[in-house]
Structure formats: C-alpha cells, structure tokens
Amino acid sequence: MGMDWHSSGITTSVLGALKRGLAPRSRELGLHVCGGRGAHSRKTPGELVGIGERVGFDGAELAAASRLVAKVDSAAVQDGFDLYLHGFIVADDGHWVVVQQGMNGEARQARRYHWRSEGLRDFVEAPHAAIDGPGQGVIVNLTDVRAAASRARAVETLADLGPDGVLRALVGEPEQPLLPHLMMPAHHDVRSKDVVGSRLRANLAAAADRGPKDFVELLQTPGVGARTVKALAQVAEIVHGAPYRFSDPARFSLAHGGKDRHPFPVPIKVFDRTIAVMKSAVVKARLGAGEELAAIRRLDDATRRYENAAGPSFEAVVIEERERSHEYGGRSVFGYEPPLRKSRGA
C-alpha cells in the first residue's frame, strides 16, 4: 500500500520495503530483491553473485544482465531521463524482473522502465515489458526494431560518421509507436478537479450508512471506526470496482492521505487498521471463511448505490481531515501532526 496517488518516491519506497521485508524469508520464498537507489544500485552485481552461490543459479550471468539492462536504459535509450534507481528481483529458478527509474530534473518528472526475463529474446531490440511515463515523442532509441541496421554496423558507422552522425540518423526516423504507459497528471497534489464528486459522496454516504456498529457486525473486527470504514469503502471500490470506474485517480489518496500532506497527512491509525482488515479478510478467505471479503464487497455495492447522493465537497472533506488529523495519528515527511490550536473564545 502506497501513501501517494502518484510519486516517483513510491517506486523507491516499495522496492526498499520489499528488499528489507523479504530478506529474512528469502530462503523460504525463493525470492530475492537486489539493488536500490543510488549507491545501492551499484551493489546489484555483487549481490547477485552472492545469492547465486547460495541457491545455485549463475550469479555472474545475472550480474552481466544487470549491467547490460542499466546500460541499455542509460545509453541506448536517450529520452532525457537519468537513471537513479535499479531494482533486480530474482527467483531461485533464475527468472527475474528489473524495475529501473530515471529522473528529468528540468521537467521534474520520473520515468520507469520494466524488464522481464520471461519472453525476453534480445537485450537490445524491443526488450522492455513496458515503460511507464508520458511519451517523449521522437528520441534516440537504439532498441527500436528499425535501428537493427545501425546496431549491426555500429562499429563501422561510428568509425565513418562519428557519434553525432549516428544520432542524427536515428533522430531522423519516423516517430515510433508508444510503448504501454500510465498517464497521470503533471501536478502531484490532489485537486478538486481530479476527483469525481459523485464517487466521493458515494464513499461518504456508504461510510455513514455502515457506521462502527454495523461494520463490526459485518467484519467482526474490534477497533474499526467510521473513519476506517470510509477508507475501506474507497479501498473496496478499488478492489471490486468495474474497470470503467478507475477514471478517478484520487480515491486512494483520499482514503489514506499523502506523505507530503496532500490532500492531508497520512492517518497512520486508519492506515494500519485498513491493512489489518484487508490482511485478515484474505487470510480467512484462504482458510475457507470468506465473510470478511464478502462484507468488503457489499461495502463496494453500497458505495455504487449512493453515487447520486448529496454530500460535502472535496474541499470540505479535506478541511475536516486536516482538522482531525491528530486524532488519527496523522503523519507526513514533516513529522506527526500536532493537535490543532483553537483560537480564544472558540
């Protein structure tokens, strides 16, 4: 579970959390997370060699793959983004996934590159599983299938034309089709225009209708209150909502806030309780008791029925969340939220 609706820091945080959390159970799960941000990314080859010696795959071969993947996205693909994150996730059987991220400081945007060993036929010709970020238009891209001739004659071309000649030839190619990517707003903070009002009102109405008493009866989870119900209503919509309902990108941030205090600080107590409820529901469902998952699904159904209900505006919801942030253990990168100071005579 992330703490922002879109942020380059989420990739770093998730990879870091996976690396730290899976390390003690790597032998049991057969899954290993290597690399990371900055200096940690440069340790990836050594980590792979060490893991290979323990579990039996060719760590040196994967170390070479790690270096090559980084080189491709930093040199063969020249899109204006400088790599600063390299995460290499490998299983005991040698299958792997690489997640890399680059930053364009001038545009203040990040771009993520996804690689999978499964189905990878060539490291330098259309190797990516996907690239996440806005299209950059015409770029120098030596991984394009149309650059095969340039790759085959690279040494010869470099000797004859020099680097500038090679780049001019590539830039002159017609614009390539865009790889799969996710489109998110350029601004990081959640704004009123980013929220579908009817869905926000539906979440709040469903939460009010299924208050603490009814919710405890449904989920049988002590300590769950109205604020957690509100968050769960929004999470339930994400989990069970039909695909067309994903046009509103801000629901998750409204459920659990953002680490930079936008739209409000992360309510740690609500955040932890949501995780506990969802984890309990999944665990019990695996054991054959699906009542909690069914209750969450009913919460989503209730949300849908209330979509035309009247309710507070986005701005009013944010004001209330900020005013009560301290009660919910509100926290951001700036620290815990202090109690709101009341003016004299209030």
The pLDDT of 3-24, averaged and rounded, is 83
Integer Cα distance of 257 and 328 in angstroms: 11
Half-sphere exposure of 215 (CA within 13 A, CB side): 25
The pLDDT of 286-314, averaged and rounded, is 79
Paired tokens of 186: 């350029």
Residue 21, burial from CB neighbour count under 10 angstroms (0-12, 13-18, 19+): exposed
| 32: Cα separation from own chain's centroid | 19
Question: How do the domains of the chain map onto residue ranges?
Answer: 8-132, 192-336
Q: Percentage of the chain with pLDDT > 90?
A: 29
- Asked if 267 and 330 touch (Cβ cutoff 8 Å), the reply is yes
Please tell me whether the overall predicted TM-score, pTM, comes out greater than 0.75 for this model.
no
- Asked if 228 and 274 touch (Cβ cutoff 8 Å), the reply is yes
Q: What mean pLDDT, rounded, does the chain reach? A: 77
Integer Cα distance of 133 and 11 in angstroms: 13
The pLDDT of 164-180, averaged and rounded, is 48
**What three-state secondary structure class fits 90?**
strand
The shares of helix, strand and coil residues in the chain, as percent rounded to the nearest 5, are 55, 15, 35
Residue 254, burial from CB neighbour count under 10 angstroms (0-12, 13-18, 19+): buried
- Which of 102-106, 117-121, 213-217, 260-264 ranks highest by mean pLDDT? 117-121
pLDDT at residue 6, as a whole number = 61
Question: Which residue type is seen at 256?
Answer: H
pLDDT category of residue 127 using cuts at 50, 70 and 90: very high
Closest among 243, 240, 273, 242 to 255, alpha carbons compared: 273
Integer Cα distance of 117 and 121 in angstroms: 9
